[in-house]
Amino acid sequence: MPLPVGPLAGLFAVVLWASAPLLVDLATAIPPLRLTTIALLSGSLAAMPLSLRKNRDAEIPPGSEVLIYGVIPLLVLGAVGSYLVGLGMAPTAEGALITYTWPVMFVLISQWFTHGRLAGPVVGGAAIAFGGAALLLAPDALSGGLSGNMAGYAFAFTAGCCWALYSWLCQRTPVTLTPFMPTIFLIAAMVAAAIGVVLEPEAGSLPYSGIAAGAALGLGPYGIAMVAWDVAIRNGPIGLVGSLAYGVPVLAAFFLVVAGFTTPSWELPVAALLVVLGSVVARKGS
């Protein structure tokens, strides 16, 4: 009996993604745009051996050059860069959970572009998921600290939007992206480095521990995981594979609590479960 390649690849990607907030906390000494560059360069190296075999026969369909080498690298940069900037400006657990509402955004985008409308259960699922994120932000809002973190939360939400658009385009591109991943990451890294030179001109010396955490971030969550996700959505039942992503916020919260970076509270697991529940409802409604 053949192994279910798609679901296994999706599960592997989910575990790697859930480790991202923990690695970001370990690399807080690195300015976010420099960290983005390190992570994307590492991601390019990680994706290279996984795509070498397919690179020999990889051909870009006519008219897809701008999409593969323009739009998708910008979405990758937006997803990674906005996430790291957001988590540098807001509490890690809260910012990560906002980003991890992207599966429900993915369902919203898919249904809108497929049917030109949104079904009631999809909208209801989105309301549940975003309600979970709101629950986690409620203590900040009640204490008056929300305004100080608002920019970070906005960047985290932008990262989620980029992830959702990226996943939707992965389904729609006429060719698998795996052979092109090293180049896509490299393009995104070059743009991140250029922006970093302008916005972070005095980054100073970078600690080796932060560089190592940034490299691990690129090798795992933003390198191998991206290739694994591309394999998953092309080789497995999209409903099952998509549902695996719902476990990311729960696993991420668990990793942060176990590592001692986040204080345990009832709001965190409840909010994570609401995000998962909302994503499930939206997926079934679609």
Task: Among 10-19, 22-31, 42-51, 267-276, name the one with the lowest average pLDDT.
Answer: 267-276
Predicted confidence at residue 82, as pLDDT, reads: 94
Least confident window among 161-170, 182-191, 265-274: 265-274
- pLDDT surpassing 90 at residue 267: no
Q: Any idea which residue has 């898919």 for tokens? A: 110
pLDDT for 258 equals: 82
pLDDT score of 190: 95
| Residue 208: half-sphere exposure toward Cβ, Cα within 13 Å | 0
Percentage of the chain beyond pLDDT 90 is 19
- pLDDT confidence tier of residue 97, bands split at 50, 70 and 90: confident
Give 116 or 1, the one with higher predicted confidence: 116
Tokens of 214: 């940034």
pLDDT at site 128: 77
3-class DSSP string for the chain:
CCCCHHHHHHHHHHHHHHCHHHHHHHCCCCCHHHHHHHHHHHHHHHHHHHHHHHHCCCCCCCCCHHHHHHHHHHHHHHHHHHHHHHHHHCCHHHHHHHHCCHHHHHHHHHHHHHHCCCCHHHHHHHHHHHHHHHHHHHHHHHHCCHHHHHHHHHHHHHHHHHHHHHHHHHHHCCCCCHHHHHHHHHHHHHHHHHHHHHHCCCCCCCCHHHHHHHHHHHHHHHHHHHHHHHHHHHHCCHHHHHHHHHHHHHHHHHHHHHHCCCCCCCHHHHHHHHHHHHHHHHHHHC
Q: Mean pLDDT across the stretch 122-145?
A: 68
Least confident of 8-12, 156-160, 224-228: 224-228
Sign of the Cα pseudo-torsion (28, 34, 36, 37, in order): negative
Higher pLDDT, 29 or 203: 29
pLDDT attached to residue 203: 61
Specify the pLDDT at position 136.
Answer: 67
C-alpha radius of gyration, the chain, whole number: 18
Structure tokens at 11: 């599960």
Q: Is the pLDDT confidence value at 2 over 60?
A: no
For position 56, what pLDDT does the model report?
46
Average model confidence (pLDDT) across the chain? 80
* pTM across the whole model: 0.81
Name the residue among 213, 160, 176 with its Cα closest to residue 9: 176
